[in-house]
Chain A
């Protein structure tokens, strides 16, 4: 529209590779793309801080990228990573955190939907694997119904009984569901089995809480108020504001990933190549490191915000990066 404006902003824009060193420092990947650990380039690096660079690839700016960035622009909390710069963006939803009612076409976003997502994350913390992980490269449509994701949920949870979720019949996609799925395919599936396979006992407090969080019928799913009062939170270790409180963390530093690792990316459990670098008799395997920030930087959590955009390659696919402080 405005040539002068474009020129002005193009000149102001820096490229991510001009500002940060991050090559070869990939520390994670997900549906959205890749995450790198970066440092500001030498002359800018006055404080030695480290940044998370999230790179997202795609052909446009997706709904979820748009919302994620807009929300991160407003969020400011010591326990929440803070957005520094945006170099432009595309991503897909993390479908495997979506509650079954959303996948069946629910029109309204409810608290119960968030509780389901919390259940998914809780399960992942217990087992080190995304509980409903599912390939999702073909999820581009605006249609919420997603066959493979529902299949994955039923494979873990079993197909819901009519008495357990009476209103399932009222869901917009219920017709498609009955057409596509046979209950008999899932008779041997249930959450007890899945969690036992991952060494979580069905009589444990964590299992009971998980079961209440991952209840298929949203009206029967536990509320956050009740969940907070769950016996699980009364047993040791008790909850604290800072999960690392006063602890000497035995976790090794994140290992950098190579592109070879990426080829295995959609098999679910990621295999951080190589052995646990900080050897010690009582230490968890490197895999657990995925959800942890590097131990030496946990005190640097609060941060400031700034945004920036790159203009590279506007015509074709847009590749984008945004950075957050670890």
Chain B
């Protein structure tokens, strides 16, 4: 399920692509696990697949997940996270990403429901502020989803007629 819709914005796709390409470096994080006493790559992997499940269950846009995972990495890059709060980090980043991408973002209570009632609403709201602070409201993440879609569109557009129509379908 995804709702990326470029209809009506085709004229701007190239400009958007070059802009996002030029700022991509700001969003790439490679050292987020280096200073984490409790989180290793396996742990991060578990968190991401759990987030994927939550994301799927709530029928959110594809890009929401990509943005949320990117925020997780950038948060881990600047602060240490304890294992006990990883799921809270997961739902809070989904919450933030949803506010950017979704027509109707999920309620905080729905997200808390995915965590067996371990966390409270206030905890999520507090962490939300800490995260936005940490990533300085840089939320327009150039996601791999975006680039994939752009390249796919370019490829398909290089086919004419029947073949192109078939690919588009």
Contact = CB atoms under 8 A, between A and B. Distances in A.
B137 A1 contact: no
B96 A108 contact: no
Interface stretch (A4-12, A126-134, A285-293): A4-12
Given A60-B128, A66-B99, A111 B8 contact: yes
A261 to B, nearest CB: 31
A169 B85 CA distance: 47
Contacts of B5: 108
A226 to B, nearest CB: 15
A67 B101 CA distance: 9
A125 interface: no
Contacts of A307: 136-137
Which range contains the number of B residues in contact with the other chain?
Answer: 35 or more
A193 interface: no
B79 A67 contact: no
Nearest to B123: A1
Interface in B72-118: 78-82, 85, 89, 96, 99-100, 103-105, 107
Given A66-B99, A142-B105, A307-B137, A315 B122 contact: yes
Interface string A129-149: 000000000000011100000
A71 B140 contact: yes
B101 to A, nearest CB: 10
B130 interface: yes
A88 interface: yes
Contacts of B89: 1
B129 interface: yes
Contacts of A108: 5, 7
Nearest to A9: B133
A309 B128 contact: no
Nearest to B98: A63
B164 to A, nearest CB: 23
A321 B125 CA distance: 18
A93 to B, nearest CB: 12
Contact of B139 (A5, A9, A66, A142): A66
Contacts of A110: 7-8
Contact of A86 (B82, B126, B137): B137
B140 A1 contact: no
Nearest to A67: B100
A58 to B, nearest CB: 11
Interface of A: 1-2, 4-6, 9, 59-63, 66-67, 69-71, 73-74, 86, 88, 107-108, 110-111, 142-144, 307, 309, 314-315, 318
Given A61-B132, A66-B139, 13 more contacts: A1-B89, A2-B79, A5-B78, A9-B133, A9-B134, A66-B96, A73-B137, A88-B132, A111-B9, A144-B103, A309-B129, A309-B132, A309-B133
6 contacts: A63-B100, A70-B138, A70-B139, A74-B140, A88-B133, A108-B5
